[in-house]
């Protein structure tokens, strides 16, 4: 079947001869308009049926209400260091990947002949929110044109992209369809472009037909819950009950993660040069916590609510890393701090936490989100966002093309900073990290209030009832512990301001205007409920206390607030594979070697290790997550461990117990993990 052009597509929709018209049958609309009565081209509301026939409350019947609702894309804007970070990203790979990287530039999704599976949709999944959060006209234009290219190739049966081109009779893995629709609903949310929503709706209808013929397998089976994101989005705007049937079908056909997590196999590290498996694939594990939230909305099963915390507990216990992530290079790999975590897993874990925060309103998911976002995410991106790693290591003392690698399933270049080290998934998927964090910092409460569920400098606009309100957060958090929130309603209004109090924030306080500070309980959401008139400043203090943990083989980790600290190292960067195309752009592949000693152990009193640390504020730099720009640093006493050397090109494993050394005691400087490119963040205990 040849692709429809746009005019033909809209004509078919308008005359009731397209797949889209079929999905708008009155029975499916739950009491909507007659078939074809409301052509849903640009400017004509797709939801006409829903809007005229279904009351807003009814549209949501069938899905449990989330604890908090994310604000429409573009309602939350970045400020301060976060705005600088987003601009760095837009000037880096995200803003330019489509100009030179064939797998996006000439993607089959856009009519080219390069990769035609997940890469272009991954890029859009991050470039769309980045463009609209920054309100960057040039980026919006280029992203919008790419969306248009996908929509213009949609067939009358609702398929698009590679699914439309798949050979007849050959089973098609629908993972990329989940993904592209997840990206496209963001485009609809940001622009209100009804044609985008129509296209997703028609695609979901074709998906329903596809899974009836060929049940989910491979990626689609293991990522079934990602398909629920666009399905719910369309359902909440149309009320079409078949979408809930589709959600139930995907769940029924999808992988049963609770069964996997009830077994013992998930606890075992993948053997070296070992077995790549679907069940232990790291990115799958990072995506899967959200299935509890998405499945719970369908039927409010208590087991769904309980599963995400259980899953995270198992991952932490058997594979957990200091960053809030787990080792997976790229399958689950135990607790050794050199074993590595894939970048895709980092950004997917963040998005999972954002969904969980929204649906369940549990502040622990906010704590986890910040831990991953402020540590694991920035550490694995080159500070200028022109290169990234595939695998980051908590103890990462050099990043080289290393044929002697000890990854479980990855290869020699998996930890260099490059354009597409190891494999190109992270190149295309890294973009969603910062923008989606920004979009989810503030969420609407069910009682017309606003919740700060994660903290970074930002501003949000929303309506409390019919009163427009802005909330602005000025802060250098996570490098500082004071947050200044200004609430400005357009006219007097009463609503709650809900504040997440991290579990680590003992002694947290909130002060409204010039009132007395009030205590807040860590690990809860604190409500400030009042009649707001004019701009009101709410000052939040989240005291950050030094905290020293013990991890693999008893090594120390230094934490303070949401930040983990690692040894500050001097670095030597070297461009490799210099014959890469498009050398005029700053992308490339880089090896990084240590230019200072890294083999330190810490001298800390095991009874009171925190007493041996001091912290010092520094200006937060123009590049906030870089060694030079780090807004905090810590000092401790330590000594070098001459026996601790490289093994297989990495920091060797250190056995349990205090390590002997007769080297002089030195001052050891630690900086936030997210600001490092090389680091040691699990430091052995040195003998006194
Ligand atoms: Zn990846």
For the residues 177-196, what does the mean pLDDT come to?
98
Q: Say how many Å lie between the CA of residue 632 and the centre of ligand 1.
A: 30
Would you state the pLDDT for residue 169?
A: 82
Can you say how many angstroms the Cα of residue 333 is from the centroid of all Cα atoms in its chain? 21
Q: Say how many Å lie between the CA of residue 421 and the centre of ligand 1.
A: 10
Q: Say how many Å lie between the CA of residue 258 and the centre of ligand 1.
A: 24
Q: Say how many Å lie between the CA of residue 331 and the centre of ligand 1.
A: 12
Over residues 495-515, the pLDDT tens digits come to 999 999 999 999 999 999 999
pLDDT at 429 over 80: yes
pLDDT at 519 over 80: yes
Residue 394 CA: distances (Å) to CA of 20, 336, 340, 379, 417: 49, 9, 7, 10, 15
pLDDT at 58 over 60: no
Structure-block tokens of residue 373: 């976002």
Q: Say how many Å lie between the CA of residue 587 and the centre of ligand 1.
A: 18
- Residue whose token pair is 């810490």: 602
- Residue whose token pair is 């629908």: 174
Phi-psi region of 638 (alpha: psi -120 to 50; beta: other; left: phi over 0): beta
Q: Say how many Å lie between the CA of residue 103 and the centre of ligand 1.
A: 14
Q: Say how many Å lie between the CA of residue 344 and the centre of ligand 1.
A: 4
Q: Say how many Å lie between the CA of residue 422 and the centre of ligand 1.
A: 9
Over residues 619-632, the pLDDT tens digits come to 999 999 999 999 99
Residues with CB under 5 A from ligand 1 (ion): 342, 344, 425-426
pLDDT at 49 over 50: no
Q: Say how many Å lie between the CA of residue 342 and the centre of ligand 1.
A: 6
For the residues 575-580, what does the mean pLDDT come to?
78
pLDDT at 294 over 60: yes
pLDDT at 20 over 80: no
Can you say how many angstroms the Cα of residue 433 is from the centroid of all Cα atoms in its chain? 4
Q: Say how many Å lie between the CA of residue 278 and the centre of ligand 1.
A: 15
Over residues 346-393, the pLDDT tens digits come to 999 999 999 999 999 999 999 999 999 999 999 999 999 999 999 999
Q: Say how many Å lie between the CA of residue 591 and the centre of ligand 1.
A: 19
Alpha helices in 506-564 (DSSP H): none
Over residues 102-136, the pLDDT tens digits come to 999 999 999 999 999 999 999 999 999 999 999 99
Which of 576-580, 624-628, 678-682 has the weakest average pLDDT? 576-580
Which of 160-169, 246-255, 289-298, 425-434 has the weakest average pLDDT? 160-169
pLDDT at 284 over 60: yes
Q: Say how many Å lie between the CA of residue 111 and the centre of ligand 1.
A: 24
Kindly tell me the burial class for residue 156, based on how many C-beta atoms sit within 10 Å of its own C-beta (0-12, 13-18, 19 or more): buried
Would you state the pLDDT for residue 303?
A: 98
Q: How confident is the model at residue 583 (pLDDT cuts 50, 70, 90)?
A: low
For the residues 70-86, what does the mean pLDDT come to?
98
Q: Say how many Å lie between the CA of residue 126 and the centre of ligand 1.
A: 14
Q: Say how many Å lie between the CA of residue 141 and the centre of ligand 1.
A: 27
500: enclosing H helix or E strand? strand 493-501
Q: How confident is the model at residue 162 (pLDDT cuts 50, 70, 90)?
A: confident
Would you state the pLDDT for residue 272?
A: 80
Q: How confident is the model at residue 688 (pLDDT cuts 50, 70, 90)?
A: confident
pLDDT at 415 over 50: yes
Would you state the pLDDT for residue 170?
A: 87
Cα–Cα distance for residue pair 375/414, rounded to 1 Å: 19
Residue from 649, 667, 683 nearest 612 by CA:
667
């Amino acid at each position: 079947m040849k692709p429809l052009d746009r005019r033909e597509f809209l004509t078919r929709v308008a005359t009731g001869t397209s797949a889209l018209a079929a999905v708008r049958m009155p029975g499916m609309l739950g009491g909507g308009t007659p078939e074809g009565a409301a052509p849903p081209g640009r400017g004509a509301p797709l939801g006409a049926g829903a809007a005229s026939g279904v009351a807003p409350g009814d549209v949501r019947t069938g899905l449990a209400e989330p604890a908090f609702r994310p604000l429409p894309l573009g309602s939350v804007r970045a400020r301060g260091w976060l705005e600088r970070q987003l601009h760095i990203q837009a000037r880096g790979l995200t803003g330019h990947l489509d100009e030179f990287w064939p797998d996006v530039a000439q993607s089959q999704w856009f009519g080219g002949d390069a990769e035609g599976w997940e890469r272009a949709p991954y890029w859009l999944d991050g470039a769309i929110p980045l463009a609209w959060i920054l309100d960057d006209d040039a980026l919006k234009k280029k992203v919008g044109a790419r969306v248009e290219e996908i929509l213009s190739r949609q067939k009358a049966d609702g398929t698009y992209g590679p699914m439309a081109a798949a050979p007849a009779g050959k089973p098609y893995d629908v993972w990329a369809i989940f993904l592209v629709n997840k990206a496209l609903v963001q485009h609809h949310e940001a622009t209100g472009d009804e044609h985008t929503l129509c296209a997703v709706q028609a695609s979901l209808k074709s998906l329903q037909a596809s899974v009836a013929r060929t049940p989910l397998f491979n990626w689609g089976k293991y990522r079934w819950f990602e398909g629920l994101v666009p399905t719910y989005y369309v359902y909440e705007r149309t009320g079409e009950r078949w979408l809930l049937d589709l959600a139930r079908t995907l769940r029924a056909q999808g992988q049963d993660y609770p069964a996997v997590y009830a077994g013992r196999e998930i606890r075992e590290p993948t053997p070296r040069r070992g077995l790549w498996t679907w069940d232990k694939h790291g990115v799958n594990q990072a995506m899967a916590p959200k299935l509890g939230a998405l499945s719970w909305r369908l039927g409010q099963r208590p087991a769904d609510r309980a599963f995400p915390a259980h899953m995270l507990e198992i991952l932490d216990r058997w594979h957990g890393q200091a960053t809030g992530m787990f080792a997976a290079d790229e399958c689950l790999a135990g607790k050794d701090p050199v074993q590595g975590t894939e970048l895709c897993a980092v950004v997917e874990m963040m998005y999972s936490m954002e969904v969980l925060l929204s649906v369940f309103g549990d502040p622990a998911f906010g704590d986890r989100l910040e831990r991953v976002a402020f540590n694991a995410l920035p550490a694995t991106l080159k500070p200028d966002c022109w290169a990234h790693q595939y695998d980051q290591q908590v103890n990462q003392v050099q990043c080289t093309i290393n044929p002697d690698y000890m990854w479980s399933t990855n290869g020699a270049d998996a930890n260099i900073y490059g354009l597409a080290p190891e494999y190109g998934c992270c190149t295309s998927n890294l973009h969603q990290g910062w923008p989606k964090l920004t979009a989810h910092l503030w969420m609407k409460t069910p009682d017309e209030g606003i919740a700060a569920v994660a903290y970074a400098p930002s501003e949000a606009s929303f309506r409390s009832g019919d009163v427009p309100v802005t909330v602005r957060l000025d802060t250098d958090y996570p490098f500082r512990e004071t947050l200044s929130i200004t609430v400005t309603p357009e006219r007097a209004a009463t609503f709650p301001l809900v504040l997440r109090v991290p579990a680590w924030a003992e002694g947290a306080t909130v002060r409204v205007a010039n009132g007395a500070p009030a205590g807040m309980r860590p690990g809860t959401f604190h409500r400030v409920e009042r009649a707001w008139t004019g701009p009101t400043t709410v000052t939040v203090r989240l005291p950050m206390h030094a905290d020293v943990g013990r991890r693999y083989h008893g090594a120390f980790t230094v934490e303070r607030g949401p930040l983990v600290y690692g040894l500050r190292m001097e670095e030597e960067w070297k461009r490799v594979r210099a014959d890469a195309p498009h050398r005029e752009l700053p992308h490339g592949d880089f090896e990084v070697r240590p230019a200072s000693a890294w083999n330190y152990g810490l001298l800390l009193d095991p009874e009171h290790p925190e007493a041996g640390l001091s912290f010092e504020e520094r200006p937060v730099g123009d590049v906030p997550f870089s060694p030079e720009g780090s807004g905090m640093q810590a000092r401790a006493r330590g000594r070098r461990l001459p026996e601790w050397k490289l093994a297989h090109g990495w920091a060797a494993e250190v056995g349990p117990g205090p390590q002997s050394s007769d080297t002089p005691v030195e001052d050891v400087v630690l900086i936030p993990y997210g600001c490092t490119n090389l680091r040691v963040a699990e430091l052995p205990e040195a003998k006194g």
